């Protein structure tokens, strides 16, 4: 199975002025592509060649894990963004957020603080745990919550390559810009779907596959 670079679900300049065309050209066209190329080279002729990306992420270590997870994480991250700016977090999913975090503003503050305080490179995730509660977690480097038995709903890439061209060292400014681009309708759809399939054994694999089929993970 050859892993393919997933196309961006929007034009390169669609997220301006918050994330520039130049940043996306490097982020998707160079960094994301490099992970795809690396993984295909690494798995050729190995036991990983014919298994799906999520399984590789759950069982592999070292460079194979790093490149596989970075591919999945980036595809998921780009899908979280939408050119129509300032989607507001409202309606039933805002109530879910309030149930887990107390208020939408505390949720945002916690997410931003987690993103700013993550040392070095990594990812901030909003996830659903097996009890059905939502959590914000930090993952360093290529970390992916599927390995912890958690269902990813939203992620923010805090590797410097995600923001340095636009914001240099000002990660906080990038996080605020990212917040304006979040497609909350999609995040809610992922949550609703995860709650519906929750009791199923192997629920993470089921979630990933079925939500990908429905275009919720990768488009
Ligand atoms: Fe990245």
Give 35-52 pLDDT, tens digit per residue. 999 999 999 999 999 999
What distance in angstroms lies between residue 214's CA and the mean position of ligand 1's atoms?
A: 24
Provide the mean pLDDT of the chain: 91
Q: State the pTM of this model.
A: 0.92
Cα 60 to chain centroid, rounded: 19
Cβ-contact 212, 2 below 8 angstroms: no
What distance in angstroms lies between residue 213's CA and the mean position of ligand 1's atoms?
A: 24
Residues whose CB is less than 8 angstroms from the CB of residue 163 and which lie 6 or more positions away in sequence, other chains included? 19, 23, 170, 171, 173, 174
What distance in angstroms lies between residue 203's CA and the mean position of ligand 1's atoms?
A: 27
At residue 119, the 3 state secondary structure works out as coil
Rounded CA gap, 158 and 146, in Å?
19
Q: Which of 200, 57, 133 is nearest to 211 (CA)?
A: 200
Q: Which two tokens stand for residue 63?
A: 């460079």
C-alpha separations of 162 from 6, 83, 92 in Å: 17, 17, 31
Look at 184 and 1; give whichever has higher pLDDT. Answer: 184
| Phi, psi for 124 (deg, rounded to 5) | -105, 135
Give the mean pLDDT of 195-201.
Answer: 60
Give the mean pLDDT of 65-78.
Answer: 97
Domain boundaries, given as residue ranges, for the chain: 19-219
Structure confidence at residue 66 as a pLDDT band (50, 70, 90) = very high
Q: What is the pLDDT of residues 79-136, one digit of tens each?
A: 999 998 667 898 999 999 999 999 999 999 999 999 999 999 999 999 999 888 999 9
Rounded CA gap, 76 and 68, in Å?
12
Which H or E element spans position 96? Answer: helix 92-101
Residues of the chain above pLDDT 90, percent? 79
Domain 19-219 has CATH 3.30.1490.20: no
What is the per-residue pLDDT for 88? 83
What distance in angstroms lies between residue 66's CA and the mean position of ligand 1's atoms?
A: 12
Rounded CA gap, 157 and 61, in Å?
21
| Radius of gyration of the CA atoms of the chain, in A | 17
Q: CB 212: neighbour CB atoms within 10 A?
A: 16
What distance in angstroms lies between residue 32's CA and the mean position of ligand 1's atoms?
A: 7
Give ion ligand 1 contacts, CB < 5 A: 157, 159, 162
């Amino acid at each position: 199975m050859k892993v393919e670079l997933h196309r961006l679900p929007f034009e390169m300049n669609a997220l301006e002025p918050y994330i520039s065309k130049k940043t996306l050209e490097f982020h998707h066209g160079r960094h994301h592509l490099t992970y795809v190329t690396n993984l295909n080279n690494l798995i050729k002729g190995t036991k990983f060649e014919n298994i799906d990306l999520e399984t590789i992420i759950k069982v592999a270590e070292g460079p194979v894990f790093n490149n596989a997870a970075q591919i999945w994480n980036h595809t998921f991250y780009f899908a979280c963004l939408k050119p129509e700016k300032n989607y507001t977090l409202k309606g039933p999913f805002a109530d879910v957020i309030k149930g887990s975090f107390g208020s939408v503003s505390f949720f945002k503050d916690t997410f931003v603080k987690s993103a700013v305080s993550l040392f070095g490179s990594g990812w901030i995730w909003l996830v659903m745990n097996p009890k059905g509660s939502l959590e914000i977690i930090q993952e360093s480097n290529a970390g992916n919550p599927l390995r912890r038995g958690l269902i990813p709903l939203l992620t923010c890439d805090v590797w410097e390559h995600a923001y340095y061209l636009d914001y240099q060292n000002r990660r906080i400014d990038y996080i605020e810009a990212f917040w304006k681009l979040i497609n909350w309708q999609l995040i809610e759809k992922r949550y609703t779907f995860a709650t519906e399939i929750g009791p199923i054994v192997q629920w993470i694999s089921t979630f990933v596959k079925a939500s990908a089929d429905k275009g919720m993970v990768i488009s």
